[in-house]
Chain A
Amino acid sequence: MQVRYICEVNLKSMRITFRSKSYSDTEVLQVLKSSDEKSQNKVIQYLYNSNWKSIKSYIGKNSGTEDEAADLFQEVLIVFYDKIQQDKFKGDSSISTYIFSIAKNLWMNSLRRKNKEMLHMEVVKSEMDSDPATVEISNMQLFYSLFEKLSQECQKILKYAYYESLSMKEIQMRFEGLKNEQSAKTKKYRCMKNLVTVFEQNRVTQESFYA
């Protein structure tokens, strides 16, 4: 009958696919470079939606557990985020391919390290440790520990200045002890100077250790 026929035709011709909000690679980079945490969380969710299953499956097929995959995926995103902040992601491959290759390298290194530990071998600098992502993770962990040693005030000022991109006026208004913008600026650069100095000192130490 005509009615049924028309409905079928319409159902067949209406090819509707629904996806959660998706972003182009350029948009992902723009948002992750911005200071807008809400937008960043949406992009992180998008990165989880588009990459988590494939990475979990890869780790699962290569002797890993879901918890290990979850930890690794966080590390992957941190490395990726850091690459973006330092303009080191050139966009030669798609973000998904890039993320997957970071995950693969980190997991392979992690497996080699595990095997060495199981064989009671001495963990020394080796080919695996020179993998850029692995080195980056270890440098970041060093940095995080140094940052946490700063005073709470310095941690906050540097967070407001560099993570939230607040102006000196906004930073000064958040601290009772800072009388004006100039005093906020002085405090910010004093904190920054300390951090850069200890970072450089410890980085040299680490390089010497591996040399």
Chain B
Amino acid sequence: MMKELDEDILEKIDAYLDGNMSKEEHDVFLKNMDSDEELNKQVESVRQVRAGIKSFHFRNNLKQNSKKFQESATKPNYTAYLLSGIAASIILIISFNLVFQNNSDRQLLFAEYFEPYPYLGAPRGEANLDDLGTAYRSYVNRNYKEAVESFQRLAKEQLNIPKNKFYLGVSYMGAGDMRSAITNFESILSESIYHQQTQWYLGLCYIKLEDWEKAQYYLKLIDPDTELGKQAEALISSIAD
């Protein structure tokens, strides 16, 4: 049986087990342990009791929370679900961005290819222009909103002239109103002297509206042997990429 413990010895054993001894104290204590079997036993006993005290409270904590630990280990991992959800959202955003990026690339096609059809006969500088003169001057000056308003003020007969309707269509496009431009172009598609140009602009309108099928439909109508036809082919392949 182990000799009864002295409280001073207990304090020293604690300091030894906690590593709170100076090097000198530690060396002396080890030397004592080498020569004193009783001290060895006491150190081992204190070590076990200290571990037992910790184990007692660890067990109490475990008992109190074991149901919770167990349930968490068997239940679906909501954190993982949440993180998966976040991941899915990130993927969705990335995908969305890719689509958007791709659409943006296509939108860039419009900006790249859209050029107002040249008009060389517009009057310049005159103070008292009629609506038609004002419309074409605004058109040449790329003031498309004003051009549209001026074209719209024309008498019906004057407005129905395919040439004027063609330029009104391009003005609508310049003003950003693709729907009105399409309606206007489609009304002159069969009779305009600007037949291929009308198809070209219709194609561009549908690109702007992201209606890729209709865009390709009109662009494919353009004669591939013409300069405009070659541009249309290049544009179609850009959409398909």
Contacts and interface: CB of A to CB of B under 8 A. Distances in A.
Interface in B31-90: 42, 45-59, 61-63, 65-66, 69-70, 72-74, 77, 79-80, 83-84, 87
Contacts of A195: 49, 53
Give 9 nearest A-B pairs by CB, closest first: A85-B51, A48-B73, A143-B52, A189-B7, A18-B83, A48-B69, A52-B73, A163-B57, A18-B80
B50 A85 contact: yes
A171 B77 CA distance: 40
Contacts of B70: 48, 52, 70, 73
Nearest to A201: B1
Given A3-B99, A85-B55, A196-B46, 16 more contacts: A7-B98, A14-B91, A18-B84, A48-B73, A49-B72, A52-B69, A74-B66, A78-B59, A86-B47, A86-B51, A159-B53, A162-B54, A193-B7, A193-B10, A200-B1, A200-B45
A78 B42 CA distance: 24
Interface stretch (A36-44, A92-100, A113-121, A124-132): A36-44
Contacts of B72: 45, 48-49
Contacts of A44: 62, 65, 69
B241 interface: yes
A140 B57 CA distance: 12
B3 to A, nearest CB: 10
Interface in A9-41: 10-11, 14, 16, 18-20, 37, 40-41
B11 interface: yes
Nearest to B42: A196
Interface of B: 1-2, 4-5, 7, 10-11, 42, 45-59, 61-63, 65-66, 69-70, 72-74, 77, 79-80, 83-84, 87, 91, 94-95, 98-99, 102, 241
Interface string A157-184: 0110011000000000000000000000
A11 B95 CA distance: 9
A58 interface: no
Contacts of A41: 61, 65
29 contacts: A7-B99, A16-B87, A18-B79, A19-B80, A20-B80, A44-B65, A44-B69, A45-B69, A45-B73, A52-B70, A73-B66, A73-B70, A74-B59, A74-B62, A77-B62, A78-B55, A81-B54, A81-B55, A82-B52, A86-B51, A140-B59, A158-B53, A163-B57, A185-B11, A189-B10, A189-B11, A193-B10, A199-B49, A200-B2
Contacts of B73: 45, 48-49, 52-53
Contacts of A6: 98, 102
Contact of B77 (A11, A20, A190, A199): A20
A7 B95 contact: yes
A75 to B, nearest CB: 9
Contact of A140 (B47, B52, B65, B91): B52
A200 B87 CA distance: 58
A80 to B, nearest CB: 10
